[in-house]
Amino acid sequence: MRIVVADRIAASGVEYLQRQDDFEVVEAYGSSPEEVLQLAREASAIIVRSETRITAEVIEAAPNLKVVGRAGVGVDNIDIQAASQKGVVVMNAPGGNTVATAELTFTHILCGARQIAQADASMKAGKWDRKLFGGVEVFHKTLGILGLGRIGSEIASRAQAFGMRVLAHDPYLAPARAEEMGVELLDLDAVFAEADFITVHMPLTEGTRNLIDKAAIARMRQGVRIFNCARGGIINQEDLVEAIRSGKVAYAGLDVYEKEPLPGNSELRGMQNLVLTPHLGASTQEAQESVGQEIAHSLAEALRGGVFRNALNMPSVDRKTLQALGPYFHLGETLGNFLQQIAPDQVKKLRITYFGRIVALDANPLTRNILKGYLKNISGENANSVNAPILLQQLGVENEVVKSNEARDYYDLILLEAETGDGRRYSVEGTVIGKAMLPRIVAINGRYVEAPPEGIMLLVENRDVPGIVGAIGTVLGQDGVNIAAMSLSRNRLGGLALNVVNLDSRPSDEAFQRILSSDAIESALVVAL
């Protein structure tokens, strides 16, 4: 089997693959897109870092391709959807760069306190400006960490060693877990108001894009110091430049950018109180050695038909189990994603209950897929079917799996429940129907419906009075939003009704507010799957 190593990884990783008798290793560093396309035609696997793009065209041109391995975390340069459609597994190596990124972040924090980079440039220019580069101590200062996952947790421990008070905002982290780490868990505005230093460690999602913008910076302390070694786009770069110029932000450090490489004419390059590094988060010998070996071993095992470790688009199952559970994987992932969006951010416990024929199967791969769906909007690209239980545990969320012999209305049924610390429960139930085994949501919070779990879904709870369906349809029609399907449910005549509306596009904020403003509407929520 031919393995194309398109980007340079640790030599030990390449050497490991070369020692295997059943692999032919082609080192093709610095290949052009045209050369990659040609090399892919005979490849069983391709290893990349961030330089080479594995596009749909590359995947389509590679009939023997089984695995694409990313030596690192981010997979923005790989078309995962095209790979999934062709049955190509996409794997990454998420664990190797944790310490490296944490140490780089703390280096930025220390440079932000003492202006090391600016003083160095001044000295090399022949100057001696001791008074110009006064700094501050991090001792007894307050650090705000946005996102307390693997890297955020490492930052917290280092900050505590420097005598810093550590605050954190992570809407999905259980308070007990934060207490165990010695971190104060606060809402976002409280962190903004109290922190002297703020560092970002969240995935880039629609919810975190431009999380730190002009309005957010206005709520921060005068002279705050801001750092981002996570993902470009979480901090609005234009607003950051304006805040540095005004003095609101005393100092900032960036390792990631909205567009990479950073354009040569970017305003960021001319800012005095800003240190820039070219996406060096994983650029240590140890990190590169770790991710290189990790992806080489994982890829070799996958090519030989073993377990798929750190697979982003496929559960780690053998072919026989995969065939039996296959119809439920998409259902389970969408149910998990749906539940996360209808439940509060902080959840104490998740319970998964299987009914019917699923009970006789090894449901562990399906359970992992459900957890991956639940974590999709929380952990972004970091979540997969392998690490989902660990990520959930890091959030302090319990996970219980129940197999029930209780008779239900469907041959097979998956019930997901989320329980909060104060005892509130949220649930969704789903099954597959017909010969095509189409996924369907059949109950939401105990209310019976039948809706395809796909696309944009509008959930409206209203008093059971005439005209509500027509009113909703009118508002959506005026907004140019087409209704694909609708399911209605009510608890009793004249009581509360639940409308589940599948839409072809997301309604505007104005239209949503018009629906919500009706006296008969108790609640409304848009779920995006």
Catalytic residues: 231, 260, 279
- Look up tokens 């608890």; give the residue: 491
- Look up tokens 């980079």; give the residue: 117
- Helices of type H across 115-149: 116-124
Q: Which two tokens stand for residue 273?
A: 């109180």
Phi, psi (deg, nearest 5) at residue 142:
-105, 125
Question: Which residues have CB under 8 Å from 96's CB, separation 6+?
Answer: 72, 282, 287, 288, 290, 291, 294
Sheet hosting strand 67-70, strand order edge to edge: 24-27, 2-5, 45-48, 67-70, 89-92
Instruction: Spell out where 187-273 has E strands.
Output: 197-200, 224-228, 249-254
Strand partners, 467: none
In contact, 149 and 172? CB cutoff 8 Å: no
CA–CA gap between residue 400 and residue 177 (Å, rounded): 18
Instruction: Spell out where 159-248 has E strands.
Output: 165-169, 184-185, 197-200, 224-228
DSSP string, 196-210: SEEEE-----TTTTT
Angle at 207 between CA 186 and CA 70, to 5 degrees: 105
Instruction: Spell out where 370-490 has E strands.
Output: 398-404, 412-419, 425-433, 438-444, 447-451, 456-463, 483-490
- Helices of type H across 304-347: 319-342
Neighbouring C-beta atoms of residue 452, cutoff 10 Å: 17
Q: Please tell me the number of Cα atoms within 13 Å of 342 on its side-chain side.
A: 28
Burial of 407 (0-12, 13-18, 19+ CB in 10 A): exposed
Cα end-to-end span (Å), the chain: 37
Classified as helix, coil or strand, 416 is strand
Phi, psi (deg, nearest 5) at residue 212:
-105, 100
Q: Output the CA torsion 383→388→391→396 (10° steps).
A: 140
In contact, 256 and 228? CB cutoff 8 Å: yes
